[in-house]
Structure formats: structure tokens, C-alpha cells
Chains A and B, each alone.
Chain A
Amino acid sequence: MRSAPDAIRLLRFGAVTRNAHRIHYDAEFARSEGLDGPVVMAQLHGCLFHRAAAEFAGGDPAAVRAVGWLNRAPACAGDRLTVTGTVREVGPDEIVLDLEERRGDGTVCCRGHAVVARRP
């Protein structure tokens, strides 16, 4: 699953979640915090993991029972992000996926997992 959240997406996502943290839209402030620029919200990383898991489950968002991630490196506005996954475990009624999100330069932004229901 690929996505490139740009400044517009960050602004929209911040607005609907009422997230006014300046690291997400104020470039000068973000640099003062040691970042290269405005960064993608943690919850948006979570949404990308959720979407990847839902796509694996045939496009059913309700099939995702759990999703988790650890932030490893920031992703800045405009970075091309790719979420990949591998099947860790297949149980009688659910599948556990290991997920990873990387920037275009190969840097790992997030590592995590998802649990999805097996289709009948």
C-alpha cells in the first residue's frame, strides 16, 4: 500500500482530529524541534497500517481486529510511504500480519502488526 501524505492532507487530517500540534504544519517550529519539516501524525500512520490490513482482508475495514505500530523515524509531508506486510501467523479464525512502513529512501518510519479476521 502506497501513500504520499502532503501538506494539504496533514492540514485536513489535523483539522478533523482537532490536532493543532505545530510539528504537523509549522515548518519553522518543526525544524526547531530537530525535524526536517512538518511530520505525519501518528494516527495517520495508524490509518495507513489499518488500510493495508483491510486491503489484505479483502477490503473490509471491519475485518481488522487490532493494529499496532511503533514510530521509528518521522515521515515528512510529501514523503512517499510504502506499507508492506508479511504473514506471521495463521490461526483458526484470524491472521497476524507484521507490517512495516518505509520512506522512499528506505528509512523505516513505523513497524507494527495487525490482526485480521479470516474470511469464511
Chain B
Amino acid sequence: MEPEASRADLDTGVDTGADTGVDLAEKRARALVGRVERRSLGVVRAGAAAEFARAAGEDAPRLVDPDHPEFVVHPMYVVSLLRGAPGADDAEFRPDGMYRDEVPGTDGLDVSLMAGGQDVRWSCAVRVGDDIEVRRTLVSVERKGRGAGFILLTVEKTYGTPERGVLVEVTERFIVR
């Protein structure tokens, strides 16, 4: 059983000096559980949504042609955006190219990041002109595997607008090793 002091370290994210990057990420992440973060993805533009659809390999006119009378924003568009326009400053990137704040608790640590999967649930369609805000909450931190193993982070996200409320809910998992 872990001594009480170690338990406290895990809760507060304190670096004890003998931790691996994964250990530190776990401590930091546990200290972030429940914290709500917000980010604006900006206003959804028809041209950008159509470009996304084309890049994803779609060819249906209603997804790739903004002038089509039945044009719709690809449902995966906003949930696939890591940032809105105009992008990010150089200082926002990790050496591996990922955003420093994309995977909670990993900023500045020499750890490998992988996506674990997602669950996406639409309650309403995202429309052109929606000014999308994403809210993210880290909900669980699990240590997995043998030896040093890895940590599995689960975050809950909502995408919506002040006027229309929540449009999409996402559960996303990250692997840190």
C-alpha cells in the first residue's frame, strides 16, 4: 500500500524527483480532474467545412459544395478541429508537434501521446455561422499495463453556442506512455 505522503503527492501533482515522465503526467492529470476548460473554435464557415469534407475524402456535393442547395456542415468537422482560426503561436506546440495543452498534464514532459478513441453524440447539427465554444473536462486517469505501463486519460467535451446550447458531446481517450 502507498504511504500517505505518496497519496498526497498524487493528488497535488508534486514532483518527488524520482518520477518518470509518465508518473509526472499521472500526478498532474489527477490534479486536473474535474477542472472545466473552455476554448473558442470561432465561427463555422461554409468554405472551411467543405474543405474539411474534401480533405476527409468525401465527394457528396452536399458536403463539399457550399453552394449546393442542401449543403450541410460535415458532422465530424468541429469535433476534429484542434484549434480554430487563425491557428496557434509557436510557443503553444510541444516538440512532437502536439499542442502543449491538448493532452492534460503532459506539457513539457518527454512522453509519447496517442489517441485512444472517441464517442461522438450529436443532439443538433452544427450550422454555418455557429460560433462554437468547446468545453473540456478531464474525468478520469487510469494507470494501465505492466511495468511502467501507460496512463489512459478520458475527457468529456461539449461543443455548442450560447444561443443554441450544446450541439455535440464527445468522450475522448488519450494514451500517455
A1-21 near B? 1/0 per residue, CB < 8 Å: 001010001001101111111
Give complex CA distance A50, B79 in Å. 12
- Determine whether B121 belongs to the interface, using a CB cutoff of 8 Å to chain A: yes
Give complex CA distance A118, B114 in Å. 35
> Which A-chain residue is minimally distant from B58 (CB atoms)?
A51
> Which A-chain residue is minimally distant from B49 (CB atoms)?
A16
The chain B residues found within 8 Å of chain A, CB to CB, are 48, 51-52, 54-58, 60, 62-63, 72, 74-76, 79-84, 87-88, 93, 96-98, 112-122, 125, 171, 173
- Determine whether A66 belongs to the interface, using a CB cutoff of 8 Å to chain B: yes
Query: Could you list 9 further interchain pairs (A-B, Cβ under 8 angstroms) beyond the known A20-B97, A23-B97, A66-B121?
Result: A18-B88, A22-B97, A42-B117, A42-B118, A46-B76, A50-B75, A68-B120, A71-B115, A110-B117
User: When A47-B57, A61-B74, A71-B116 are in contact, do A18 and B97 touch as well, CB less than 8 Å?
Assistant: no
- Asked if B87 contacts A18 (CB within 8 A), the reply is yes
User: When A21-B96, A22-B96, A23-B96 are in contact, do A68 and B117 touch as well, CB less than 8 Å?
Assistant: yes
> Which A-chain residue is minimally distant from B171 (CB atoms)?
A68
Give the interface residue-count category, chain A: 35 or more
| B residues in contact with A21, CB < 8 Å | 96-98, 113
| A residues in contact with B55, CB < 8 Å | 9, 12-13, 15-16
